[in-house]
Amino acid sequence: MTQAPLLLSVDNLATHFFSQEGILEAVDGVSFDIYAGEGLGIAGESGCGKSVTAQSILRIVPKNGKIVTGEISLIQNGESVDLVQLDDRGQEIRQIRGGEIAMVFQEPMAAFSMVYTIGNQITEVIRLHQECSPSEARERAVEMLRRVGMPQPEQTIDAYPFALSGGMRQRAMIAMALSCHPALLIADEPTTAVDVTIQAQVLELMKDLQRDMGMALIVITHDLAVISELCDRVMIMYLGKDVESAPADVIFRDPKHPYTVGLLRSVPELGEGHSQELDPISGSVPSPYRRPTGCPFHTRCPDFIPDVCDVHMPPQIELGAGHRVRCHLYVQD
């Protein structure tokens, strides 16, 4: 996989929200690379900064949020652009949004505007990024809808989103994101809002499309099963930090960070016979306004080392090929 060219490199990204209650450090020092055609999973509990990381890449962070440090380099045709430096309303970033990097959102119900047909909303993005007539754009939209498995795309294209089922809406959402053949697709909880049976179909679809179109994929989810299905590599986030990243098979086989271990243990397994005791991580995520000192996870960590974990932020430690972890347990001195 690593022979493929580097597509996007995020280095020490920090995005904070400024409000009357204080500063919310939603993302606080996250680094990762994505190579062309690769699938990266970003996992963590709600509020750990996964979605804000994705919004930072597209520079669509809600209005109180601001990228305070870091670089996001997009590499196209050998040229690197730092997205953080671009004007978030400017022409350059708007060409990248929807064109080079597209996004699938969590709630297909809320993500489509209810007052325009899905055809209107899909052809809009096609006409923004491709030179074509309205009828050509419509043809391409129908083609894309067919490709994502939408039944009767010629008719469905004129349907309003409220007339479609959740699964069809999510398919339409995927078709809209893919309609300009992006080099990178960011899927923010693509299956959270749809039925379990539809989930499998959507995952299957995304896997096929990723393979066929050769695009890179970032999947943001709290569902580790989705990651095992779609991703080559995984990054685990906790309170805005990337606590561990590794190839997917390594994470599932040999997790290092106590949080990753806990996360994997808390996934219920469907099995025969024995009923399984769930093993949740103790405690709950601290308020993001009052982040613990030192390692953010020390308040819930089973391997907590007094006077170390609650004092010092652990450094990022390279354990093996592409396996990095932020934990004092692995500091060698």
Partner 1 sequence: MLSFILRRILLMVPTLFVVSVISFVIIEAPPGDFMDAYVDQLLQQQEAIDPAEIDSLRLRYGLDAPSYVRYFRWLGNILQGDLGRSLEWNQPVAKLITARLPWSLAISVASFLFAYALAIPIGLYSATRQYSIGDYVFTLIGFIGLATPNFLLALLILWYYFVATGNVAVGLFSEEFLVAPWSFARVIDLLKHLWLPAVVVGTAGTAGLIRVMRANLLDELERPYVMVARSKGLSEGKLLIKYPFRIAMNPVASTIGWTLPTLVNGELLASLVLGLPTIAPLFVGALLSQDMFLAGSVVMILSSLTLVGTLFSDIVLAWLDPRIRGAI
Residues numbered 141 to 200 that lie near partner 1 (CB under 8 A) are 160, 162, 176
What's the CA gap between 315 and 332, in Å, rounded?
A: 11
Closest by alpha carbon to 110, among 189, 184, 186?
A: 189
Residue placing its CB nearer to partner 1 in the complex, 74 or 281: 74
What's the closest the beta carbon of residue 229 comes to partner 1, in angstroms? Answer: 24
Name the segment binding partner 1 (CB under 8 A); options: 8-16, 52-60, 293-301, 324-332.
52-60
Could you tell me which stretch among 89-97, 209-217, 231-239, 318-326 binds partner 1 (CB under 8 A)? 89-97
Query: What's the rounded Cα separation, in Å, for the pair 246 and 318?
Result: 10
Minimum CB distance to partner 1, residue 18 (Å) = 13
Among 3, 46, 62, 277, binds partner 1 (CB under 8 A): 62
Return all residues near 154 (Cβ < 8 A) that are at least 6 apart.
142
Per-residue b or e along 297-319, where b marks 16 or more CB atoms closer than 10 Å to that residue's CB? bbbbbeebbeeebeeeebebbee
**How many residues are given for the chain?**
333
Residue carrying the six token digits 């996989």: 1
**Pick from 267, 294, 296: nearest CA to 281:** 267
| Piece of 56-64, 212-220, 222-230, 278-286 that binds partner 1 (CB under 8 A) | 56-64
Does 99 bind partner 1 (CB under 8 A)? Our answer is yes
Q: How far is the CB of 152 from partner 1 (least distance, A)?
A: 19
Cα separation, 94 vs 79, whole angstroms: 18
Q: Does 95 bind partner 1 (CB under 8 A)?
A: yes
Pick one of 96, 205, 230, 327: the residue that binds partner 1 (CB under 8 A): 96
Site track for partner 1 across 105-144, x = CB under 8 A: xxx--xxxxxxx-------xx--xx---------------
Alpha carbon 173 to chain centroid, angstroms: 15
Which is nearer to partner 1, 180 or 281 (by Cβ)?
180
Q: How far apart are CA 77 and CA 56, in angstroms?
A: 22
Positions in the binding site for partner 1 (CB under 8 A): 55, 58, 60, 62, 89, 94-99, 102-103, 105-107, 110-116, 124-125, 128-129, 160, 162, 176
